[in-house]
Amino acid sequence: MKIGDNMDKQNKTLISRFGFNDPDLTTPLHDKIILSITEDKLKEIISNIDILKGKNYKIHGIAHEVPIKASNDYIIGFIDAVATIAYDNRQTCDPMCDPVKFIKIYIEVKTTIPSYGELVRQLNMYRDGLSIDDVYTLVISPDDRFASALKDQGILFYKYEIIHQPSKPENLDW
């Protein structure tokens, strides 16, 4: 065994040790979807989250490829994006509570969902590692076959619409 082989095994995330390999990570469509998650697009997506309905809120940033760590700091895996949102809590809180609350939305991008079970196991491992309140999980994908089942599991879903652009003609020498 080479020294590099041993190092590679030690550096794997917990999620990869369980056999979750995400081929999406290297695809241009995966990158395109992640980069399309702007504050304006996120406002459109999250407008139906119950805790935010009828409240003033502000998105405080969207971070990409965020590590999810266990309590011992071991990296469980990487979530594609995390949005931090502050909302006005004055309507529902007593005088002693914080008038501004924060939630986080953990976003997983999939260009396709070949297996519902694998996706739910992946997200449940992440959610278990987070073990904090006021966290939402959102899947963004053009593949909406499992949207209803994901919702039943408490996972938000947004269908990414692929807009086909006509391809540019190759350089033709006439």
Using CA atoms, how far apart are residues 19 and 26, in angstroms rounded to an integer?
17
143 DSSP assignment: -
Please write the tens of the pLDDT for every residue from 129-173. Answer: 776 666 889 999 999 999 999 999 999 999 998 876 555 555 545
What is the structure's pLDDT at 4?
41
Q: Which residues pair with 83 in a beta bridge?
A: 62, 105
Concatenate the DSSP letters of all residues of 21-61 into one string: --GGGG-HHHHHHHHT--HHHHHHHHTT-GGGTTS-EEEEE
pTM tops 0.75, yes or no: yes
Q: Which residues of the chain have pLDDT under 70?
A: 1-25, 91-94, 131-134, 164-174
What is the structure's pLDDT at 155?
92
- CATH for 8-159? 3.40.1350
